[in-house]
Amino acid sequence: MLRDQLRLRTGQKLGRYELLTPVARGGSSPVWVARLRGARGFNKLVVIKTLLPAPGDPLLMEQKLLEDVHIAALIQHSNVAQTLELGEEQGTLYLVMEWVDGEPLSNVIECAEQAGGVPLLVAVNLIGQALRGLQAAHEHCDSAGIRIGVLHRHVTPDNILISYSGIAKLIDFGIARAKSQDRTLGQDNRIERRFGYAAPELAIGGLVDQRTDLFAVGVILYLLTTGRHPFQGSDSAATLRNIVSDEPAVRPSTLKTNYSRTLEAVVMKALEKDRDRRWPSAEEMRLALQRGVPQAFDLGSEAQLRTFMADTVGDRGLRKREAIRRAELVVDSGAGEPSGGTSASSVRSLRAIAVDAEGDRSDSTPPSPRFPSIMPTLRPLLARSLPPPRLRRPLLFATFAVAALLLGAHWLRSSGRTPSVAASPASGMVDLTPPRPASAAPALAPSVVLAQSASAAAVASGKPSHSTTKRHLPAAH
């Protein structure tokens, strides 16, 4: 039985899926993008919607919901977002759907208003794609080949997703009946969002069929090509009265000059109040559109759609992908927030981790962008330049010995005395005592001094020298 929805948060697991970030709101529950993780680094993004309890008989509503979702999962078409799985977590049912990297048509319409609306050819092409998806659902058959008669019942601009590459996909097959029974839906949505696209028979609770969905498509096409709702009233109640009344919609040609007569005929037939006078199928309506506006379906239409989406909502796509990427970093670091969001401290820490891929940083403070960290580059060089531990102590003593030799020579030179450098054959130690007055020995060559320093280092380390350097001092003249 459906219970109250879970309190969802970033990083929470629902079955096989990890929640990343909410991307929309359906009714009163958020719509989450989640990640399915598999073996050897396999990742797949999906959409998860929790299904809320509905009024009436809960067992009956749950049974209808399960039947609709089961049928929706069988629809396979490029213009229908696929239903992947129905899961349950602590008594809450959730629906797993295909992730569409795009925007709802409602967002596209809103963003396109600043540029004068959706271009005619783009609008007709998108509606043609939506009709393809509806036809696949309407003619879906069971295993015995009998047509089931799958209906959407809630075709609106919110339920048509447009990918950033220009592909239209219908969503929410199978849960439209549950959404229409959702008692919380009216709290954050206007009546137009619930009934503004509903056919008269659906609004008054009459019998419905595939032509009910085509009425909604006609309303959307009218809105796209004229910029206004065909039954727009002074308020929400007036709009609903205009839909259920016998008065037809105002012809598009009276609102927009040079409106195509063939396109107008297609739209007006879809908006007939008597469903027997509407288009009998989605395929016939699509073919009529293709005959009336053939330019919308030319070979170059796909490139035109991609360009339109990039110019209209491309920046929204970049922000959405960045939010998902950051959410993945948060989940991978185990820094999910109980509130279901991403904290600023977690983002800063993740940014630091991303900058230093070596993972050897002792703090989470990111380096300045103007002065990036060079430690990952210096570490291997330093490791190669340092001697092995067993040789560090002898080299240290050798360094001290050379330093003492240089300091002593400097002191003798400054005092006016010339040192006599000699080494004891037995010990190899360097003799810095002043020379005898009778004879003066010339200074040794640098190579001899270095050899003597090496011998001194060997003695200081407690190890005997393995080589003996003979030193021959020339006789004084």
Residue 448 pLDDT grade (very low, low, confident, very high; cuts 50, 70, 90): very low
| For residue 354, pLDDT beyond 80 | no
Q: Are strands 43-50 and 92-98 parallel, antiparallel or unpaired?
A: antiparallel
| Of 183-192, 250-259, 342-351, highest mean pLDDT | 250-259
> What would the pLDDT profile of 404-415 be if each residue is shown by its tens digit?
778 777 776 766
Residue 209 pLDDT grade (very low, low, confident, very high; cuts 50, 70, 90): very high
Residues of the chain with CATH 1.10.510.10: 13-323
Q: What is the pLDDT of residue 440?
A: 46
Residue 91 pLDDT grade (very low, low, confident, very high; cuts 50, 70, 90): confident
Residue 44 C-alpha from the chain's centroid: 11
Residues 6+ apart with CB under 8 A from 245: 273
Tell me which of 158-167, 186-195, 391-400 is least confident. Answer: 186-195
| For residue 102, pLDDT beyond 60 | yes
Q: Which numeric CATH code is attached to 13-323?
A: 1.10.510.10
351-374 mean pLDDT: 34
Residue with the larger pLDDT of the pair 422 and 352: 422
| For residue 383, pLDDT beyond 70 | no
Using the structure block, give the residue that is written with the tokens 């959706």.
118
Q: Which residues pair with 92 in a beta bridge?
A: 89
> What would the pLDDT profile of 291-327 be if each residue is shown by its tens digit?
999 999 998 999 999 999 999 999 999 999 999 999 9
Tell me which of 149-163, 247-261, 347-361 is least confident. Answer: 347-361
Q: To the nearest whole percent, how much of the chain has pLDDT over 90?
A: 45
What's the CA gap between 193 and 201, in Å, rounded? 17
Tell me which of 81-95, 326-340, 439-453 is least confident. Answer: 439-453
- The total of other beta-carbon atoms located within 10 Å of residue 340's CB is 17
Q: Measured between alpha carbons, how far apart are the two ends of the chain, in Å? A: 116
Q: To the nearest whole percent, how much of the chain has pLDDT over 70?
A: 64
Tell me which of 95-104, 157-166, 298-307, 378-387 is least confident. Answer: 378-387
pTM score over 0.75? no
Whether 219 contacts 197, CB under 8 Å: yes
Q: What is the pLDDT of residue 392?
A: 55
Residue 27 pLDDT grade (very low, low, confident, very high; cuts 50, 70, 90): low
